[in-house]
Chains A and B, each alone.
Chain A
Amino acid sequence: MNFKMKQLLAVARHEFFNQIKSFSYWILVFIPLIIITALFRYANLTIDFHNSDFINMVWGLSIPILTFLFCFIYVGMIANSVARDKTSKLSEMLMSIVDAKEQINGKMLGIYMLLSCQIIFYIIFIFCLSKIMHNNFLFIFISHVKIGLIVYSILALFVSLFIFLAMTVQFACFITDTSQISSATMPPMFLMMEIFVMSLLYYAPGMNEVNGLLLMIYFTCLFPPVGSMLTPPLMASGNISYLFAYSTLIIQLIIIYILYIKSIHVFKYGLLSNKKKNIFIEGFKFR
């Protein structure tokens, strides 16, 4: 393993253990568990598993909700992490040891480790709940979803999270005191909410019959994070083919790479800047 990789892993480990020890992380992890438990306890579980339209619709609606939930949790987390480095006045010292690229990658890897941990925790919890309540509906439901859709949805979730994290970092690196953290998370949160609403709107009656709208949606699917959040429900409803969906993912990854290079540059500049600046303007500035 080369030295840069070791540094990246050290940053990821530090990020992971710092967050996993925090009370707020566990609060955010536990809140969905209450909803899941209520679902097991009170929901009418007479699901018709042979109705693939219904299965697809539920899956198509669930993915944007889950993506929104995970992005919501981790956008705040990475903003806090960057803000901690800045307000602890450690950014210059860290930059002298680790490149901006390894710092960003390490932080993101730490976040992905937390996400994986959260998903594994949920799976174990749901498994135990199914055993206790003698109700396997969630596992049966997932077994009826096409594997290609599941794989795509997971990839899209990771892509969405990546772009929201990279975007947040661009704003958070200009934070000079902790009161500005919310300002740094606002632009990605607004965007996230807008796309989330768009993906839910798509399921409104009659919306999928408006061809012009569909065309527009096809076009916007090429751009991250809109595409990564919109394509899973579109795929689930059968409005776009798997080939189209996976092709958009490739285009999105190319665009993400360009944005990611820009965010490293902005991150380095922002971390070394000590003057109090307008976070919105600095984050959007083209450098």
Chain B
Amino acid sequence: MIEFKNVSKNYDGFQAVSNLSFQLHKGEILSLIGQNGAGKSTTFHMLLDFIKPSNGQIHRNNNLNIGYMPEERGLYLKESIKSQMIYFASLHGMKRVEALEKLKIWMEKLNVVGDIEDKVESLSKGNAQKVQLIACLMFNPDLLILDEPFSGLDPVNADLLIKAVLEAKKSGTMIIFSTHNMENVEKLSDYVVMLSHGKTVLKGTLKDIYNQFGRSKLDIVGYNNLQRFKGMNGIKDLAITSENSAQLTLNDVSFGKYIFDEVTKDGYIPVFNQHYPTLDEIFKEKVKESEK
């Protein structure tokens, strides 16, 4: 298990991370969300023991086998895939034969275009990124840390990465990753920590977070008299997107029933969808709040 207990980090008066607390257990995925400079990489660096926290405690087993993919991707360009993967594997204590076997399996699984004897400089950016991911995954890490793993990947390769991460989760790996892509957070995370300027603005399971906000979003399509909802007390925001469709943000979730009754008075409407805000919307709202 990994535990951050009220962890803070200051750099010459600048607060990079403030009072961060979370727990991560075997087979769980935690995502760190935040803008650039929110403190995600600093959190990873503290977890990896590159830097010491100014305050608080980090509990983790020192003998954890860690797979880390930093935000700045890199490989030895002049070396072949085989030679550097064998090198990384040997640093993890894996034998050469086993490493070669796993490398071939992972290259097939992640659909890397190229041969193991190819030099990294001959690979495309996406393929090189996949090779780096293999370097983190092939030795079955206990803890996998991925800093912006989806940046630079097309949707097909992003899906391959998601599959690989979920497979690692199944085998009991603790996974922590940062991303700006909320769709992937929804697909992967068990637990979410949202940071803004180093402060935790939101944390919990996806279910908890959605429940906290409730079904406060409402999409209406096919109702012509949308202007009548303007200025109503129960409505926080009304965005009319076309002549007969609008997106509403409700102050009170129960107000949705009133609107439903109103818009269906005249009969059928094709779309009335009262739903949870997306993580993206929650994120933007929380960032706005924290900047006030």
Chain A residues close to B by CB (< 8 Å)? 3, 6-7, 10-11, 13-14, 18, 84, 88-90, 92-98, 268, 272, 274
Residues in B with CB closer than 8 Å to A94 are 91
Residue B68 interfacial (CB < 8 Å): yes
Residue B14 interfacial (CB < 8 Å): no
A6 touches B93 (CB 8 A): yes
Sample 30 A-B pairs with CB under 8 A, ordered by A number. Answer: A3-B93, A6-B93, A7-B93, A10-B90, A10-B91, A13-B90, A14-B90, A18-B79, A88-B74, A89-B70, A89-B72, A89-B74, A90-B74, A90-B76, A92-B72, A93-B74, A93-B135, A94-B91, A95-B50, A96-B50, A96-B66, A96-B145, A97-B68, A97-B88, A97-B91, A97-B92, A98-B91, A272-B45, A272-B50, A274-B72
* CA of A89 to CA of B135, assembled, Å: 14
Residues in A with CB closer than 8 Å to B73 are 89
A7 touches B76 (CB 8 A): no
The A interface is mostly helix, strand or loop, or mixed, namely: helix
Chain B residues close to A by CB (< 8 Å)? 45, 48, 50-51, 66, 68-70, 72-77, 79, 87-88, 90-93, 132, 135, 145
Residues in B with CB closer than 8 Å to A84 are 76
Residues in B with CB closer than 8 Å to A14 are 87, 90
* CA of A97 to CA of B69, assembled, Å: 11
Q: A92-B50, A272-B51 are in contact. List 19 more A-B contacts (CB 8 A).
A: A3-B93, A6-B93, A7-B91, A10-B91, A11-B91, A18-B79, A88-B75, A88-B77, A89-B70, A89-B73, A89-B74, A93-B70, A93-B74, A95-B48, A96-B48, A96-B68, A97-B92, A272-B45, A274-B72
A92 touches B70 (CB 8 A): yes
Q: How far is the CB of A105 from chain B (nearest CB, A)?
A: 13
Q: Which residue of B lies closest to A13 (CB)?
A: B90
* CA of A243 to CA of B225, assembled, Å: 103
Residues in B with CB closer than 8 Å to A3 are 93
A10 touches B87 (CB 8 A): yes
Q: Which residue of A lies closest to B65 (CB)?
A: A97
The 9 A-B residue pairs with the shortest CB-CB distance, nearest first, are: A89-B74, A96-B68, A10-B90, A92-B70, A89-B72, A88-B74, A90-B74, A97-B91, A14-B87
Q: How far is the CB of A90 from chain B (nearest CB, A)?
A: 5
A92 touches B77 (CB 8 A): no
Residues in B with CB closer than 8 Å to A88 are 74-77
Residue of A88, A96, A268 ringed by the most chain B CB atoms within 10 A: A96
Residues in A with CB closer than 8 Å to B74 are 88-90, 93
Residues in B with CB closer than 8 Å to A11 are 91
Residues in B with CB closer than 8 Å to A95 are 48, 50
* CA of A92 to CA of B71, assembled, Å: 10
Q: How far is the CB of A47 from chain B (nearest CB, A)?
A: 47
Q: How far is the CB of B47 from chain A (nearest CB, A)?
A: 10
A97 touches B72 (CB 8 A): no
* CA of A88 to CA of B70, assembled, Å: 12
Q: How far is the CB of A24 from chain B (nearest CB, A)?
A: 13
* CA of A82 to CA of B135, assembled, Å: 20
Residues in B with CB closer than 8 Å to A90 are 74-76
Q: How far is the CB of B58 from chain A (nearest CB, A)?
A: 15
* CA of A14 to CA of B45, assembled, Å: 26
Residues in A with CB closer than 8 Å to B93 are 3, 6-7
Residues in A with CB closer than 8 Å to B132 are 93
Q: How far is the CB of B142 from chain A (nearest CB, A)?
A: 13
Residues in A with CB closer than 8 Å to B87 are 10, 14
Q: How far is the CB of B133 from chain A (nearest CB, A)?
A: 11
Residues in A with CB closer than 8 Å to B91 are 7, 10-11, 94, 97-98
Q: How far is the CB of A177 from chain B (nearest CB, A)?
A: 13
